[in-house]
Amino acid sequence: MNPSGQVAIVTGGSSGLGEATARALAGKGAKVAILDVAEQRAQKVAAELGGIGLKCDVSSEESAQAAMAEIAGKLGDPRILINCAGIGIAMKTVSKDGAHPLDLYRKVLEVNLIGTFNMIRLFAAHVQNLEPMDGGERGVIVNTASVAAYDGQIGQAAYSASKGGVVGMTLPVARDLARSGIRVCTIAPGIFRTPMLAGLPQEAQDSLGQQVPFPPRLGEPAEYGALACHIVENQMLNGETIRLDGAIRMAPK
């Protein structure tokens, strides 16, 4: 699908991987809607791109439905969905303070896994009714997992489970939506220069980067955005999870 002129939704688009993807899509002529709980930042980035920024909790059915309706009313029918919204915690299953709090585990799954599926289902329900484009295609969905889905480290029980769920549903959802001409892929990034890592001292960032076989550095958000755009543009990519990690395999800690 050529992104030019198409309406693209980017969740978690006010910073990091999402912001880079929103900028990449806008650079290719897409009309971008940025959804984020950080409303002011979402609106600021969207204003720079000529799009719209909306407050949205992806794990809430009501919030996501309202955002979808506003996007359709202000920008038009969306054809592209990039799911970048997510949270992470570092906590062992059992620590000196006791068992992992169940509410925190549930929260990570609600945002990262259920929130991703929530956006997929609402987007697909709308897009399946649109007129097909070249090759019968109606829409494209790109999800964000993590290498933690495969190489979860100590303290990543919740995060790895949530991202493993995103990987696990990629193929069945792609198969579900194939009849409607909607493609589904997932990107599993490694260690990237996101706002969370950018807050670390440069020495610590360099040390993390040196763990990557090649290139021996942190990934740049623009590299994620470039792959997301390529998935949108390459019609044969469907039902696949792509590791974007410089060949890193994470150690236990």
Q: What is the pLDDT of residues 14-48, one digit of tens each?
A: 999 999 999 999 999 999 999 999 999 999 999 99
Residue partners of 189: CB distance under 8 A and separation at least 6: 17, 144, 146, 147, 219, 224, 244, 245
Q: Which of 105, 150, 159, 224 is catalytic?
A: 159
What are phi and psi for residue 48, nearest 5 degrees? -70, -25
Read off the amino acid at residue 32.
V
Distance CA 94, CA 170 (A): 30
Distance CA 13, CA 19 (A): 4
Across the beta sheet with 78-83, the strand order is: 52-55, 31-36, 7-11, 78-83, 139-144, 182-189, 241-244
| Token reading at 72 | 């359709």
Residue 208, pLDDT above cutoff 90: no
What is the structure's pLDDT at 253? Answer: 86
Read off the amino acid at residue 98.
G
Q: Which residues pair with 145 in a beta bridge?
A: none
Q: What is the pLDDT of residues 118-175, one digit of tens each?
A: 999 999 999 999 999 999 999 999 999 999 999 999 999 999 999 999 999 999 999 9
Is 105 catalytic? The answer is no
Q: What is the pLDDT of residues 179-191, one digit of tens each?
A: 999 999 999 999 9
* Calculated CA dihedral for residues 62, 11, 132, 124, nearest 10 degrees: -40
Annotate 112-164 with DSSP letters as a single string: IIIHHHHHHHHHHHHHTTSPP-GGG--EEEEEE--THHHHPPTTBHHHHHHHH
Average pLDDT over residues 84-104: 95
With cut-offs at 50, 70 and 90, classify the pLDDT of residue 94: very high
What is the structure's pLDDT at 230? Answer: 98
Which of 154, 6, 174, 186 has the alpha carbon at shortest distance from 86? 186
Distance CA 26, CA 19 (A): 11
| Token reading at 91 | 């906590």
Decide the pairing of beta strands 139-144 and 182-189: parallel
| Token reading at 251 | 């150690």
What is the structure's pLDDT at 202? Answer: 85
Residue 62, pLDDT above cutoff 90: yes
